[in-house]
Structures are given as C-alpha cells and as structure tokens.
Structure 1
Amino acid sequence: MIELFSLSNQIKKAADSVNLNIAKGCMGQSKAEFKRLLTYSVRSGLEVVSCLFMASSRNYITELEFKRLYSEYEQLCKMISKLKASL
C-alpha cells in the first residue's frame, strides 16, 4: 500500500500545482510570464492524468472513477490552454 500512498500523494501535488501556477500568474505578472505559468499548469494537469492511468491500470480506482476524473482534467486543460491562447 506504500505505492498507493505515493501515487495518491503525487496526484495531490500535481493537482495543487495546477492551481498554484494559475494563482502565481494572476499576481500582476507580465503576459509572457502568465503564459509560462499556464503552460506549467497544463503540464501538471497532464501529470494528474498520467497518474490516473496508472491508478486505473493497478485497480486503485474504478473505470467509472477514471473516466469521470479524466474527463474533468481534459476539460480543465483545454480551458487553461484557451486562456493562454487568449493572452
């Protein structure tokens, strides 16, 4: 179960990183810096998705949970990418 703890901890860190990078970018940064931080946010979102694939393949989460979470992160990454493109 150490592996399960490590994987869930990695998911939490990556999910937090999505939010934290967006927050950092909103703090009066230049457009270029905000875009850079949004790129980091998307990368962290993709890290969450990668961890979800591992969790699913190891039967730590159900197929239904995987599909729901994957869909939510796919949508989130698309929204962040669109925000970045609008700057």
Structure 2
Amino acid sequence: MHRFKDLEIWKKSRKFCQEVYTITSSFPSEEKFGIINQLRRASVSIPSNIAEGCSRKSNKEFSRFLEIAIGSCYEIETQILISNDLGFLQDDDLQVLQSRLLEIIKMTSKFKTNLTI
C-alpha cells in the first residue's frame, strides 16, 4: 500500500486541478453546467483516483485506478482543445495545461509500469 500524499503524481495532479479551476473561472457563465463542470470534474478525478487506488490491497487494483486517472487526463485534453476552439481558452493557457497534462500522464504511466503486479 502506498501513501498517496507522498506521491509526486498526486501532488502534481492536485496542483493541476487548482489550475483548471482558476482558468475556468474566466469561461462564460453560461458554460457553468457545460464545459466548466466537465473540466473541473475530470481534473478532480485524477488525484482522487490516485488516492483511491492507494487504498487498494493489490498493485493490480491500484494499477486500474491509475489507468482511470490517465483516462481523465485524455478527457481533459479533449475538453481544453474544444475550449480553445470555442475561444474560451487562450493559446498560452492551452499550452500550459497541455504541458502539465503530458507530465502527469508520463509520470503516472511510468509509476504504473514500475508497480509489481
């Protein structure tokens, strides 16, 4: 069993979640129940699944939760690209979020690969 608060992937994904909340606060208010909600929920899902996976008794179970966290990253990537297409997200913010997502995906994938199943 791992202590999720000690994992760098959990710390980075938690920080990323904060960035998503900050950036989406400038989105149009009519998107409150649309893309803002989707982005925020998916960003919360990343550190939440890492934490929940840590509570599992086997690395195989933990690995499944890491897969779900990675899936949430790709969901967010799609949503930020759409947000950019719609003019809600500036190119600079898009690049920052994509860079952070890629880092989280790579770190999580490597961590998952190194789990002894």
In the TM superposition, 1:1-87 aligns within 5 A as 1=28, 2=30, 4-5=31-32, 6-87=34-115
Paired residues, what number? 86
Mind listing any 5+ residue stretches in structure 1 that lack a counterpart? Answer: none
CA distance in 1, matches of 2:106, 2:73: 10
CA distance in 1, matches of 2:41, 2:62: 20
The alpha-carbon deviation at position 29 of structure 1 amounts to 2.7
The alpha-carbon deviation at position 36 of structure 1 amounts to 0.3
The alpha-carbon deviation at position 81 of structure 1 amounts to 0.5
The alpha-carbon deviation at position 46 of structure 1 amounts to 0.8
Equivalent residue letter for 1:67: Q
CA distance in 2, matches of 1:79, 1:9: 26
Higher helix share: 1
Aligned Cα root-mean-square deviation (Å): 1.0
Equivalent residue letter for 2:88: Y
Q: Percent identity?
A: 28
Alpha-carbon displacement from aligned partner over 1:7-38 (angstroms, at most 9, x marks no partner): 01101100111111100111143110000000
Equivalent residue letter for 1:25: G
Mind listing any 5+ residue stretches in structure 2 that lack a counterpart? Answer: 1-27
What SS does the aligned partner of 2:89 have? coil
What SS does the aligned partner of 1:15 have? helix
Which of structure 1's runs of 4+ aligned residues deviate more than 3 A?
A: none
What SS does the aligned partner of 2:106 have? helix
